[in-house]
Structures are given as C-alpha cells and as structure tokens.
Amino acid sequence: MPISINPMMMRQIIMDHYEHPHNKRTPTSDKYLKINMNSESCIDNIDVFLLVENDIVKDCCFDGIGCTISTASTSIMTDLVIGKSIQEAYKIIENYRKMINEEEFDEELLDEAIAFINTSKQASRIKCATIGWNGLNELLDESKGEKHE
Amino acid sequence: MINYEKLLHDFPILNNKMQNHRLVYLDNAATSFKPTIVLDAIKDYYENYCANTHRGDYDIAHKADVKYDESREIIAKFLNANKNEIVFTAGTSMSINMIAYGYALQNLKADDEILITEAEHASNVLPWFSVAKEIGCTIKYIPLTKEGRLTPENVKSAMNSHTKIVAIAQVTNVLGYYVDIKTIAKIVHEFNAIIVVDGAQSVPHFKVDVKDLDCDFLSFSGHKMCGPTGIGVMYGKYQLLKEMIPLMSGGGMNARFNTCGEVTLLLPPQKFEAGTQNIEGAIGLAAAIQYLNEIGMDNIEKHETELRKYAISELKKLDNIIIYNETAESGIITFNVKNVFAQDAATYFNSKGICVRSGQHCAKILMDFLGTVATIRASLYFYNTREDIDAFIDACKKAGDFLDAYFN
C-alpha cells in the first residue's frame, strides 16, 4: 500500500474495522493463550487470544469493549498476523510500533494498519492504537517460553 | 459578578492554546486551574521561611508554624468549623480512608450496616468495602430515584437500628445532583448513626457550613478548588475525632512515649498529622480559599448555575446529543454523542482545544445503573465563559465526524 494513501481511505479502513471487526470472538478451545488488556486510564477492556502451532500463528482473535481506535487497530492486527511465523509477527509489531513512534518503518509489512500513521498527533490515542498489539506481543513471548520448557 | 479580564490575569493558563485552538477547560470535576496567587504563596514559603513546623527555635521556623496554623484557621472559617476540627490530609481519598479505618473499624460490629449509594466515587466505596470485610458487617445501597437522585425519603427507607454509618457525596461526580445533606443528617442522627459526607464536588463550588448541615465528617481535596495537589481536609466533629484512632503514627502526633510502648497522643487535629506535613500544600490551599472568598462562593455558584443552564439549553437544540443529567444543579454535564464511543468523542474535543473527560469516572457501579459503558463529562468552574460553552457546542455539533481528529 503506497504511503500516499489518502485520509478518506484511512478513515474508511478504520470505520470498517470498527463497525465490522475481524476475528472478534472468544475461542471455545482451551489451546489458546489469552491475555486481558484492561487500560487503567480509559474504558478499553479487551482479551487477546493466540494459537501457535509449529511456530506459526494459527489463529489470533480478540473480544471485549473498546473505542474505535483500539477495536479497529486490533482487528487489523489479527488479519496481519494470522498465518505468519512468530518471527514475522514480531517484525510486524515492531514496524507498527515504529510507525506509531514516528520512526522509519516498512510500510509493506503493515498494509491496512498504515491507517494509524497519524496517531502521534493525538497523543492520548497511542494507548488505544497499541493496546491489542502490546497484548499480542506478550502472548508471543509467552508462546516461546512454553516451548522452551 | 465575575470579572473575566481579571481572571485572565490571575490564571495565566487561561490564555494558552491546545491543538492550535483557544484552551477550553471543562474538566474541573477532575482538577482545577491554579491562580498565580496560590503559586506565589507556595513560592514565598520555600523562598522566605522554608523550615519545618512544630517546636521551631528560630524565627523562620516560628513563621512556618504561624502560617501553617493560620492556614488551618482560614479553612475552619471557610467551613464554619472549629480550628481543632480541621485535619490536613492528602485529599478526599485519604480523608475517607482515615474515617473508615480510624472510626468504622474501631466502632462497628458484625451485625452493623454501612449505607452508601450506587452513585458514589470509588473513594467513597472502596474504603468501606475494605473495613466491612474486616469487621464482617454489611454494606447496603440506598435506592436512588429513576433519575439517579438521592432523596431524604430514600435514606429514611434504608435506615434501621443496625445502620451505623451513612457515607454519601454532597454532589456526586457523575450525575452532579445536589443532595440535601441537612435533612438527611437529621434522619441519620434520629437513628443514632453518623453521616460521612464526601465534599469533593461540593466544597469548591458553593458555601458549605458544617454546623448548619450538622454532618459528622466532611472530606474534600484542595486541588479541585484552585489549591495544589496532595492536600485535602478531613473535618470531623471534635468528639468523634477524639474517639478516633489515627491511621498513621510518627513524629508530631505524640506527646510522649516510653520504651515500654506506652504512648500519649496529642489531641486532634495533631494526633492525625504524623510526620512532616504538606506545609506548602496547606499554605497553598489557604491562599486558594482566600481567593475564592474574594470572588464569593455565592457568586461562583450563581455563575456556574447560569452557565450550565445556557449549556443545557444549547445542547438540547442538538439531536445528536444524549444528556444524562439534565436537571442537575451542579456544573457537571454528563452526556454522549449518539453513535460515537465516548473516548472517540473526547479525542475530537481535544482536537478543538476542549478538555472533557470520557470514561466511567471511577463510578463503575453507576454505569450499570445508567445502562451505558461510558459517558463524556464536561464540568464547569467560575472561570468558564459563554465563549467556552459556544466552542463546546460547536464541537458537539460536529462530533459525529470524530475521525477528523485523526486526519486534520
């Protein structure tokens, strides 16, 4: 996706993922790793779920209450990481964080997530735009830890 | 009348910008701005008589003692209390914790009851939860009217011979209704119980007279009334303060002690003030109160009432706004923009230079009562103007396009 993507498209992407979030569900299987991301300072309260098999993100989903920014950014994140290797998932998260922090990043890896490129202009939304991503990062760490045991 | 030109001079921050717009601060229920005169009083302490209080053997220590003492006197007069009934604390939360642990925990038994409401702030809920658990006693909720109001009739219906404490806010922080403490105090005392009043949202905004109300305890925070953070007050009737046990022990609160562990405590209020106190805070709060007195608490209340009326009448003209507390007397306006998540709307207000708060406002129970997970709160103070309201209303009109905040 080119960086010249216009604000109208970004807006559409965010609203689509807010109104019709992808992978917003609580899995019934107990094989999933789960983390609750409950923001202390806002209303966001979401669970992120991860299923890893053979170093591949087999599934990633989320559920709970969140604002437009947290819901849409988490929805896009799940689309991006499903089917990727753990290392690729880390790389996507790393690039997303770089974008949020206004550092150089690889836009090819982020696809629709580039809609959040302006987050730093509204500093109070950084937490919203990263809450799901931080949860996934912790779950990925956890999945590696378990394998080493 | 409030002189806005003077306010612009008194509060330099009112001249600031945020997101390239004139700063419009409508989060006064969270904290208030500080006039220069308060900062000057604090600076004066540090620059000219920076010494610890109690038993100073030299001039500047004596001055610190005098100023600290004067501060207590100014606050006592402001509330129509006696000086020895004013205990300095870190704020409302600490005051209520001191009452819960120092009074309730010592005096209540397992079959006693504590009454609160679903509209209380966490600081007037959780301390009671904690001590009730230790005592094994019960916490009950006084029913609210459909509108969310607390009435004397409802208090009466909830009282019984087991009720020992009624802990309620004089103005609740989400719905902003005035509560008739005076009438409720009479009812509570008829049952030989005590009334603990959370004054965090009332003391900054209108005249509160503890003798007239006949409340047993009153707590409030300095920072919501132009004072610094970290200073607040626990008012208690002297007899109750004498019966209470201090939450903290240390220097400055005991008369003498020996190695066998026998301690003689000082009298209230000193017995509650262990360790070096927040001296700058006390001095700053007193300066803030003198400033409020100069404007006049009645003028402050009148200004806020009129401004709220104007805001509500303008908001009602908009069909994309849901107001949750239309009839409230205080300057608190709780609302939502239709089909916009509260936090998304609040960010939009930010992009227009307007400070409002989204969230559950620490009154999580109340949100179950209102049937919504989140609201936006705009809360006024005497330095707000019609111009502020106009900017706010203009943003309300366009808040449906909240993602503009993200892309402009």
Cβ-count burial of A31 within 10 angstroms (0-12 exposed, 13-18 middle, 19+ buried)?
Answer: exposed
Residue B341 in contact with partner chain A when CB distance is under 8 A: yes
- Same domain, yes or no: B180 and B167: yes
With respect to residue B274, please indicate whether it lies within any of the assigned structural domains: yes
Closest residue in A to B406 (Cα) is A118
Last residue of a domain, one of B259, B294, B329: B294
Measured between alpha carbons, how far is B392 from B354 in angstroms, rounded to an integer? 7
Q: Kindly tell me if the per-residue pLDDT of B406 is higher than 90.
A: no
* Cα separation, B127 vs B8, whole angstroms: 39
ipTM of predicted assembly, 2 dp: 0.73
**Chain B contact for A101, CB < 8 A?**
no
Q: Which of residues 6-35 of A touch B (CB under 8 A)?
A: 7, 10-11, 14-15
Continuous H helices in B210-337: 210-213, 238-243, 279-295, 297-315
Closest CA to B343 of B333, B358, B356, B354: B358
8 Å CB contact of A68 and B402: yes
Relative orientation angle of helices B279-295 and B59-79, to the nearest 10 degrees: 40
B240 and B345 assigned to the same domain: no
Full domain range(s) for residue B201: 39-294
Return the pLDDT at A90: 97
Q: A10 contacts in B (CB within 8 Å)?
A: 406-407
Residues B288, B302 within the same domain:
no
**Predicted local distance difference test score (pLDDT) of residue A3:** 53
Q: Which pLDDT belongs to residue B136?
A: 97
Distance of CA B393 to the CA centre of its chain: 27
On whether both B275 and B368 belong to a single domain, the answer is: no
Tell me how many domains chain B contains. Answer: 2
The SS3 assignment for B124 reads: helix
Verify that B250 and B396 share a domain, yes or no. Answer: no
Mean pLDDT lowest among B57-66, B111-120, B228-237, B244-253: B244-253
Any B CB within 8 A of A125 CB: yes
What is the mean pLDDT of the segment spanning B286-299?
A: 98
pLDDT on residue B364? 54
- Tell me whether A148 touches chain B (CB under 8 Å): no
pLDDT of residue A149: 43
Q: Report the SS3 class of residue B271.
A: helix
Task: Identify the weakest region by mean pLDDT among A56-60, B21-25, B324-328, B368-372.
Answer: B368-372
B157, B283: one domain: yes
Q: Which two tokens stand for residue A88?
A: 């690729």
Give the pLDDT confidence of A88-114 residue by residue, as tens digits. 999 999 999 999 999 999 999 999 999
Q: What is the CATH number of the domain that holds B357?
A: 3.90.1150.10
Query: What percent of chain B stands above pLDDT 90?
Result: 82
When scoring A68, A119, A128 by the number of chain B Cβ atoms within 10 A, the one with the most, hence best to mutate, is A68
Please report, for residues B116, B149, B168, the alpha-carbon distance to residue B185 in angstroms, rounded to integers and kept in the order given: 14, 16, 11
pLDDT less than 50: residues of chain A: 1-2, 148-149
Residue owning tokens 């100073």: B56
Within this chain, do residues B312 and B302 fall inside the same structural domain, yes or no? yes
Domain boundary among B266, B294, B322: B294
For range B345-367, the mean pLDDT: 80
Same domain, B234 and B305: no
Q: Are B209 and B236 contained in the same domain?
A: yes
Higher pLDDT, B1 or B63: B63
Q: What is the CATH number of the domain that holds B176?
A: 3.40.640.10
Say which of B342, B351, B403 has its CB closest to residue A43: B342
Q: Does B344 touch chain A (CB under 8 A)?
A: yes
This model's pTM is above 0.90: no
Any CB–CB contact under 8 A between B183 and chain A?
A: no
For residue B123, count other CB atoms closer than 10 A to its CB: 21
List domains and CATH numbers for chain A.
7-148 (3.90.1010.10)
Residue B192 and residue B87 in one domain: yes
Chain A partners within 8 Å of B405 (Cβ): 122
Query: Same domain, yes or no, for B173 and B58?
Result: yes
* Contact assignment for B343 to A128 by CB distance below 8 Å: yes
